[in-house]
Every structure is written in structure tokens, then in C-alpha cells.
């Protein structure tokens, strides 16, 4: 359980929430674990299937406090909310602003993605300096530095995407060097999608899919439309804003997790099947293991760079979604993207 940005996050799957006077009470096996007055709460995010009492839902509806139900794996389930107090205006502002997105919003998001990408490469270089004998990792860092500066040279949409593409190429060019075990099996020559053509791409695609769903759930809980973004263009069936939010997290969350699974031997060469069309996917047993490790990784903590509070990795998309909504409401002059160090 965690209170962040006046929002209560119930992440313990065994918690049941009840009402006691003017307080939300969180119980585990009938033992009170937390008591919080309504005056300190603006929203509740519940990651527990046990849920809460009808009396609590009624009181929250009276006070205009939405309760968001999310599965433990991060899938948005439902929201209980009383009379609307601003979601319509928030989405109206989202549609207005993102119909002609400010260049600075796009630039900051791409720059944050590139900066996080550079940070993970620097972390690898620090932990394993021996793999940079040919200087490729050092050169990649220099190229990413140049791309971050180039993002702000032009406010042209295609120019920003071009710079992002150059940075992504520099990053994935050195991705094979960060695979420290069984390099023959986990060879990587670049991103392939729909379908993934090798083991590394199969893992990356699965991690990105999981993270995109969690970003969409986070946006739903704060009242934003996950399908209307500012960086990815509108397309039927695409959660464009969730993909925008995902960009900040690809390297520090998804990519690092995939490399950890490979380098620690949790995922091995025989954990994949190759279909007739060349598509490569995890076996059912390996996918269960991957998902279990993904859930465990989300429980680990990080000091949020903007909020300066320690939170679980799994709550980072929710914190960023909340910050984005507050920017759209005018509470923040600019949206502070996630920057990992």
C-alpha cells in the first residue's frame, strides 16, 4: 500500500478495503494494515481481486473519489465513480491539445527516451567494461548524446521522429554486446515485429506488449483516453497515448528485464518455438516463468526522479499518467517525463 500524489495504491493482492467512519481501512486477514482519512485521498487504485465493501464504494462515490480496479498483472478492469467532476473537461483538453500537439511535448518525450536509453548503456558499460574493447558502447553513448541535442534543433514532426530513429538504431546496434550468455542462440540483428523472427525479438515484443497494456490501464485510471496521443498517430485499434507513455520506459524497464532474463539463464534457447512462417515465440511454460518474473520485477523499488519518493517499478506508469493529467489540467506548467539514472 502506498499513498502517492494524494492517491492510494493498494498493491497487496490480499488486501480488502472497508469503511470506518470517515476513513478507508485496509485489512489483510481481518488485521488492519492501514487507516487513511478521506480528506487525504483523491483516488484509489486497487490491484487486489478481493476489492472493497459496497459501503466504501458508496462513500467514495459521494465524495467524488474514483476507485480503479486493476488486475494484479496490470490490466484495467473497471472504475467506480460517482457524479463526474472533471473527466469530461480533461478529455476535452486532451483532444484539443493533441489535435495539434506542442512540439516541446514531443521533443521532451523523445529526449527522455533517448536519455534513458543512454543511461542503460552507461550502466552496462560501468558493470561490464570488458565488453567495450572495440569502443562500440562508448561510441553509442556519444551518438545518443548527439541525438538528444538534435531533438531540440527542429520542431518538425518528421524531423523529431527521424532523430528518434537514429538514436534507436545506435542503441540496437550494440544490443548484441549486452547479451552475456549463449550469444549464438540469442543473436540479434535488429528489431523485427509482427512477427518476431528471433528469440531476442520475441522477448522484447512480449515485454513491450505487457508494458503497453499497463500504460493504457494507467491512463484509463486518471481519466485520459489511451487512444489519442501526441507522438504516435491515430490508428484504429491502437492505444496511441499508451505507446507515447511507453517510450520513456522501453529501455529502463522492458529492455533491462529482457536482458536480465537472458543473462541469468531464466530464459534459455530451448524455451522457444518457431512456426512455419518463421515467427518465434516463447513456449507456454517459459511464458509463465517470464510473466512470474515480470510481476516480481514490478515489486522492486525506485526513487522517482521527479516526485523524489520511493515507489515500486510497477507504479511508475501510474505516477507518470497522473503527472500528465495534471499538466493537461493546468496544475503543472509542463509534463515531466520519466528520467532514469
Residue-wise pLDDT tens digits, 153-191: 988 999 999 999 999 999 999 999 899 888 788 888 888
Angle (CA) 221 224 228, round 5°: 135
In the three-class reduction of DSSP (H, G, I as helix; E, B as strand; rest coil), residue 76 is classed as strand
**Cα dist from 121 to 143, 153, 191, 340, whole Å:** 12, 24, 17, 12
Average pLDDT over residues 65-92: 75
Q: What is the pLDDT of residue 1?
A: 57
**C-alpha distance from residue 25 to each of 6, 37, 38 (Å):** 16, 9, 10
> Which comes out higher in pLDDT, residue 277 or 28?
28
DSSP per-residue codes, 256-298: HHHHHHHHTTSS-GGGEEE-TTS-EEE-HHHHHHHHHHHHHHH
pLDDT of residue 79 exceeding 70: yes
pLDDT of residue 85: 54
- Cβ-count burial of 98 within 10 angstroms (0-12 exposed, 13-18 middle, 19+ buried)? buried
pLDDT beyond 80 at 2: no
At residue 241, the pLDDT reads 95
Residue 78 in this model has a pLDDT that exceeds 90: no
What pLDDT shows up at residue 300? Answer: 92
What is the average per-residue pLDDT within 39-54?
82
Tell me which of 3-17, 173-187, 282-296 is least confident: 3-17
Residue 119 pLDDT level (bands cut at 50, 70, 90): very high
Q: Are 223 and 85 in contact (CB under 8 A)?
A: no
User: Percentage of the chain surpassing pLDDT 90?
Assistant: 50
More confident residue, 82 or 280: 280
Weakest mean pLDDT among 137-146, 170-179, 194-203: 194-203
Does the pLDDT of residue 28 top 70, yes or no? yes
Higher pLDDT, 139 or 3: 139
Q: What is the DSSP letter of 255?
A: I
181 CB contacts (<8 Å, ≥6 apart)?
Answer: 262, 263, 265
Across the chain, what does the average pLDDT equal? Answer: 88
Q: What is the pLDDT of residues 102-114, one digit of tens each?
A: 999 999 999 999 9
Amino acid at each position: 500500500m502506498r499513498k502517492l500524489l494524494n492517491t492510494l495504491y493498494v498493491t497487496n493482492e490480499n488486501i480488502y478495503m472497508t469503511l470506518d467512519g470517515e476513513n478507508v481501512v485496509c485489512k489483510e486477514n481481518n488485521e488492519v494494515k492501514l487507516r487513511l482519512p478521506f480528506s487525504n485521498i483523491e483516488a484509489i487504485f486497487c490491484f487486489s481481486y478481493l476489492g472493497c465493501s459496497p459501503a466504501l464504494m458508496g462513500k467514495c462515490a459521494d465524495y467524488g473519489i474514483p476507485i480503479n480496479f486493476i488486475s494484479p498483472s496490470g490490466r484495467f478492469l473497471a472504475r467506480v465513480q460517482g457524479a463526474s467532476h472533471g473527466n469530461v473537461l480533461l478529455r476535452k483538453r486532451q483532444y484539443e491539445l493533441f489535435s495539434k500537439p506542442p512540439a516541446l511535448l514531443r521533443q521532451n518525450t523523445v529526449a527522455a527516451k533517448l536519455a534513458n536509453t543512454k543511461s542503460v548503456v552507461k550502466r552496462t558499460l560501468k558493470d561490464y567494461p570488458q565488453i567495450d574493447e572495440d569502443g562500440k558502447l562508448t561510441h553509442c553513448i556519444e551518438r545518443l548524446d548527439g541525438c538528444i541535442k538534435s531533438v531540440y534543433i527542429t520542431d518538425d514532426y518528421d524531423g523529431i521522429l527521424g532523430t528518434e530513429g537514429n538514436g534507436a538504431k545506435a542503441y540496437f546496434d550494440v544490443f548484441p554486446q549486452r547479451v552475456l550468455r549463449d550469444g549464438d542462440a540469442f543473436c540479434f540483428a535488429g528489431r523485427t515485429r509482427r512477427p518476431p523472427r528471433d528469440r531476442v525479438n520475441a522477448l522484447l515484443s512480449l515485454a513491450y506488449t505487457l508494458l503497453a497494456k499497463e500504460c493504457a490501464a494507467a491512463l484509463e485510471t486518471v481519466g485520459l483516453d489511451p487512444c489519442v496521443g501526441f507522438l504516435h498517430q491515430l490508428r484504429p485499434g491502437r492505444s496511441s497515448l499508451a505507446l507515447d507513455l511507453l517510450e520513456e520506459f522501453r529501455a529502463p524497464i522492458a529492455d533491462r528485464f529482457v536482458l536480465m532474463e537472458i543473462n541469468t539463464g531464466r530464459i534459455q534457447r530451448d524455451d522457444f518455438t518457431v512456426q512455419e512462417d518463421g515467427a518465434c515465440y516463447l513456449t507456454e511454460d517459459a511464458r509463465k516463468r517470464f510473466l512470474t518474473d515480470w510481476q516480481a520485477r514490478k515489486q522492486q523499488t525506485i526513487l522517482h526522479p521527479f516526485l523524489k519518493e520511493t515507489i515500486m517499478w510497477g507504479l511508475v506508469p501510474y505516477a507518470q499518467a497522473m503527472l500528465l493529467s495534471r499538466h493537461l489540467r493546468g496544475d503543472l506548467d509542463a509534463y515531466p517525463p520519466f528520467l532514469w539514472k
